[in-house]
Amino acid sequence: MKAVVLHRHGGPEVLEALELPQPNIRADEVLVKVRAVALNHLDLWIRKGLPHLKLAYPHILGSDIAGEVAEVGDLVEGVTLGQKVLLHPGLSCGRCERCSEGRDNLCPRYRILGENISGGYAEYLAVPARNLLPFPQNLDFAQAACLPLVFLTAWQMLVDKAAIRPGQWVLIHGGGSGVGSAGIQIAKLFGCRVIATAGSEAKLKKAKALGADFGVNYKNENLLEAVARIAGKQAIDVVFEHVGKALWKESLLCLKWGGVLVTCGATTGAEVTTDLRQVFFRQLRILGSTMGSRGSQFEILRQVEAGRLKPVLDRTLPLAEAREAHRLLETGEAFGKIVLIP
C-alpha cells in the first residue's frame, strides 16, 4: 500500500512517500480502506518530536480517518464489507476501572491513532472493531474526516469539563483552527455568547459565520481591552484555551470570579507564567483536557446528522502532498481542517 511515513523528527521534509505491506488484522479487528484523513496539530507535534514519545519507525501519522471496511476479523459481528465507517481515534484496554466507567480516555493504556501507534496517512489501516463509529449519512468522506478528534476534544472541554450553560460568555481562542471552529459551534449549541479570537479579519468573518457573536483580532487589538469592551471587565465565564504562552496571562485576567479556563494544547509554547494570586483570590479553575470518552462521539454524530454541528473543511490535498499540508497547517493559512486523500 501507499503511505506517507517519517523515520525521524524534523520539519515537513521528513515526511516520505513509501510502499509498505498492507496490514494484517487480528480476529477482533477490521481492515479499513482509508478514503480521507484530516490533519491535526498533534501531527505537527509528533513530527517535530514530543518528550518521552518513542516511535516504532517507519511511523504513520493521522488520527482522523474516514473510510470503508475492506476485511473483517473472525470475531467481529455486525460489520459488513464495504461499510462506510468513521474511526474513533482513541484506543484503550476496555477492561480497567476507567474504561468500565465510560472514561476510556483516562485509561492507563490509552493511545491515539497516529501518535502512539501508526495512523491513517496510508491506503489501509487495521483497527479494533470497537473503534468503528457510525458514518454520518449527510457527509462525504472528506467532511466526515474533519469530525472525530476536534469535536470530541471541544465537547469534553466545554460540555464535560466546563459544564457550559445558556447565557454564559465563552471566549474561544483560535476560532480558525479545527478545534476552535468546533468549539464555537458547540458553545452556540448550548446557548452561550461567544467571542472568538483569530489572527486575521478574514478568519474572524468565517468564525462569525459559524456562530461567533463577536470577534477579536489578537494581532491588531489588545485582547483584554477588546474583551472588556464586548462583555465587561473580568466577565468571561469560560476560556477555551489551546494556544498556550501567547495569550495565557490575558486569558486568566479576563475571567470572572469563579471562572473556568480549560486547555487542551499549547501551539505557541507550553511554558507559561501564572500569578497564583489571581487563581486563588478569584477562585478560578484551570482544567486540563485531552480527547474525550468514546461514548460522547455518538451524541456528537447525532448533532451532526441533525445539522446542528457541521464539519469545517478548508481544503483537500492528495496524500502525496502531505508536506504541503503540514506547511499550510503550521503557518496558519487554513480555516478549519486540511484533509488528505489517499
Query: Distance between alpha carbon 41 and the CA centroid of its chain, in Å?
Result: 8
Q: Given this model, what pLDDT does residue 30 score?
A: 98
* Cell numbers representing residue 276 in the block: 497564583
Instruction: Give pLDDT tens digits for 233-286.
Output: 999 999 999 999 989 999 999 999 999 999 998 888 889 999 999 999 999 999
> Are residues 43 and 29 in contact, defined by beta-carbon separation less than 8 angstroms?
no
User: Three-state SS string across 136-165, please?
Assistant: CCCCCHHHHHCCHHHHHHHHHHHHHHCCCC
Q: What is the DSSP string of 41-68?
A: HHHHHHHH--TT---PSSB----EEEEE
Residue 116 pLDDT more than 90? no
- For the chain, report the end-to-end CA distance as a whole number of angstroms: 10
Q: Given this model, what pLDDT does residue 47 score?
A: 96
> Are residues 88 and 104 in contact, defined by beta-carbon separation less than 8 angstroms?
no
What's the whole-number mean pLDDT along residues 215-242? 95
CA distance 80 to 330: 38
Amino acid at 130: R
Residue 184 pLDDT more than 90? yes
Domain 2-147+311-341 grouped into CATH 1.10.730.10: no
What's the whole-number mean pLDDT along residues 164-188? 96
Residue ranges of alpha helices (H) inside 91-135 are 97-100
97 pLDDT band, cuts 50/70/90, is: very high
Instruction: Give pLDDT tens digits for 26-69.
Output: 999 999 999 999 999 999 999 999 888 889 999 999 999 999 99
* Cell numbers representing residue 128 in the block: 479494533
> Are residues 184 and 175 in contact, defined by beta-carbon separation less than 8 angstroms?
yes
107 pLDDT band, cuts 50/70/90, is: very high
Range in 192-196, 202-206, 244-248, 255-259 with the lowest mean pLDDT: 244-248
Q: Give the residues across from 119 on adjacent strands.
A: none
Q: Where are the domains of the chain?
A: 2-147+311-341, 151-288
151-288 CATH pick, 3.40.50.2300, 2.40.10.10, 3.40.1360.10, 3.40.50.720: 3.40.50.720
